A and B are shown apart, each in its own frame.
Chain A
Amino acid sequence: MKIFATFRLMFLSSIIFLGCKKDITQQTVYDNVIYEVNPVEVYASNAEKTKQKSSQQFISILYSNLTNKTIPGDELSKLSELSLSFGDKELMNQVLLENFLGNPGIIIPTNDEMRSNPDAFVNETYLKFFLRYPTEYEKYYFKDMIIKDPDITSEMVYAAFAQSNEYLFY
């Protein structure tokens, strides 16, 4: 009897306390599957990006995106000085990107990996650079291009993402 009384009390408590509570569902998606570094929330859409990255943020994030590591302070300092030494910042970003891509230390899917599973590659590239999933249309565009154009490389796709306007915002 005592046991039943306890269950009844718990049941009534749950009705009283839970019944008054508004249900809130928060879906948080992490991209740690891709990065395996720090979990970062993804954007639901690119409309949420309203702030422009500074040169230092651009360098730091690009480095992390391409190496899966946080940029060491002294390297950030040197690369920031390099960025400061040239007036056309977009051009300097492009030059830095080309040099990152030419560095053997970067982590980038091989072309075989890209072509063996274009769906996953496109998803992961959007998550890596834009912190969001591609729309169906975006997914179709890149998948179609990768399949139809054998000359497209993963470096070229990465270069396009890193030079895009969206990549300059957060």
Chain B
Amino acid sequence: MKRRTFIRKAGLATAGMFAVPYLLPSGRLFAGTGDRLVNHVVVVLFAGGVRHQESVDQSYLAAQGFPTTGNLLQNMLAGNAPTNNLIYTPWQPILSTPLAKHGTLFKELRYATGPTGHFNGHTAAITGNYTDVSLDLNVNPDYPTVFEYYRKHTDPARSAINSWWMSEGLGPYPALNYSRNGMYGPMYGANYLRPATTFGGYGLEYLSEAITFQPDDVTKISSMKNFLDKNFDKTAADYPGILNTSEDREKIKSFIYETLNKTSMGQIEWPLPPGISTAELTGDLVNMAYAWQVLDTFSPELLVINSFDLDTCHFNFTNYLSYMHKADYGVGWLWSKIQQHPVLANDTILICMPDHGRNELPNSVYDANGLRAFDHTSDENSRRLFALIVGPADKVKQNEIVGDAFNPVGETVDLVPTVAHILGFHEYIPGGFLPGRILEEAFV
């Protein structure tokens, strides 16, 4: 027996000796996870930096000096759409009643500390801890992510196929599926996917010619690989990224090939109103469309996606409003799909929250319509967020509004404890990790 193998086996045996005395009368190894509200959580980081004024406040063009106001988020919030000075093409809402009627709106939620940058905002939301670290490409965060808490503290343990993080773009975002924390890390990470690459031009160019190995062939390849691995004393345990089980890996591989095939055949269902061309698709809507493919195929218990196109507001306010309107349609579409799914319907809670806001005052850029653009440089306005928590009426308070400009309720870092509460593992997270609280006002 090789030394490494011996050590591994001895370690397992020792672990078993410690574990056995803790077998519970129920036959389970560890204490069961706490009560869940539902079995599925979908988080949409309505990101890219969203000004409170044009979203929740529904002030439309007021910041540009026009008297026209109105609600661009017809699927998410209650309120009438703008009726004049239209600089976007209104899409008929997909939902008959806005999501706010089916849940609780935290109208004024704070991004309390740290720079209001996208990486910071995403990291704070996903780890439940603010960060001062500025854009740091492809470095996993210090604090554990919500995915790691979920996988480590859910009993029985969940494999990675149950948790997904899908981003509209690449940049630093692939690194948010697990942390560098020694108690957690990649073994508890989520599957990460950026659909616009995997299923977009590069995927279609390079992943559409796969050789097909029959199941018997796969077994033989695996047998040869095992032989080769036995003759080599190192493993790929340190290979960057998360690991799926062999069984899940085959499922995910089939999913990738099937989705690529559907894409090339034009069979992907897009979040577009009837009669609207795919030329109107945005990166956000593409991400939502493929998020649905993941939800429909795997029914994961935890899925986090983001939108990002709204960041065009740095230089194009007109497009910013248009993209916001479209992203709202995507959220409504996703919810309508969830409600038609045999597993997910009535067993899913959806949370929408921006990564951060944007400045109160414009920068020096004007777009083609002469509208001022806005950055996000950590002023007070860029710390103003909202959160919408939607779910079954017996779990989530319906048509409830919490907080206002004078009385903010909730913070960005409350997202993780809230998800942990919904999925029943909050009480198992060790103390000191999460400064935030459960947004209990939302729950029945």
Contact = CB atoms under 8 A, between A and B. Distances in A.
Contacts of A135: 231
Contacts of B232: 46, 49, 164-166, 169
A64 to B, nearest CB: 16
B192 interface: yes
Interface residues of A, number: 48
Interface string A120-155: 000000000000000100100110010001011101
B213 A88 contact: no
Contacts of B189: 87
Interface in B373-427: none
B224 A88 contact: no
A138 B252 CA distance: 32
B174 A85 contact: yes
Given A81-B170, A86-B198, A99 B229 contact: no
A160 B225 contact: yes
B242 interface: yes
B256 to A, nearest CB: 6
Interface stretch (A1-9, A11-19, A21-29, A89-97): A89-97
A79 interface: yes
Given A151-B216, A160-B221, A87 B229 contact: no
B236 A159 contact: no
Contact of A88 (B229, B233, B235, B252): B252
A81 B229 contact: no
Interface residues of B, number: 53
A98 B221 CA distance: 12
B228 A165 contact: yes
Interface stretch (B199-207, B294-302, B334-342): B199-207
Given A85-B193, A87-B241, A151-B216, A47 B233 contact: yes
Nearest to A103: B209
B190 interface: yes
A55 interface: yes
B35 interface: no
A87 B242 contact: yes
Contact of B229 (A54, A90, A102, A165): A165
B229 A164 contact: yes
B225 A164 contact: yes
Most chain A CB neighbours (cut-off 10 Å) among B195, B216, B228, B238:
B228
Given A95-B210, A102-B210, A89 B174 contact: no
A81 B240 CA distance: 15
B181 interface: no
Interface in A15-72: 46-47, 49-50, 52, 54-55
A107 interface: no
Interface string B232-249: 111110111111100001
Contacts of B122: none
Given A87-B177, A151-B217, 9 more contacts: A49-B232, A81-B170, A85-B194, A87-B241, A89-B239, A90-B249, A145-B224, A164-B228, A166-B232
Which 6 A-B pairs have CB atoms at the shortest separation, nearest pair first?
Answer: A87-B192, A160-B224, A85-B197, A89-B241, A102-B211, A164-B228
Interface of A: 46-47, 49-50, 52, 54-55, 78-79, 81-82, 84-91, 94-96, 98-99, 101-103, 135, 138, 141-142, 145, 149, 151-153, 155-157, 159-161, 163-166, 168-169
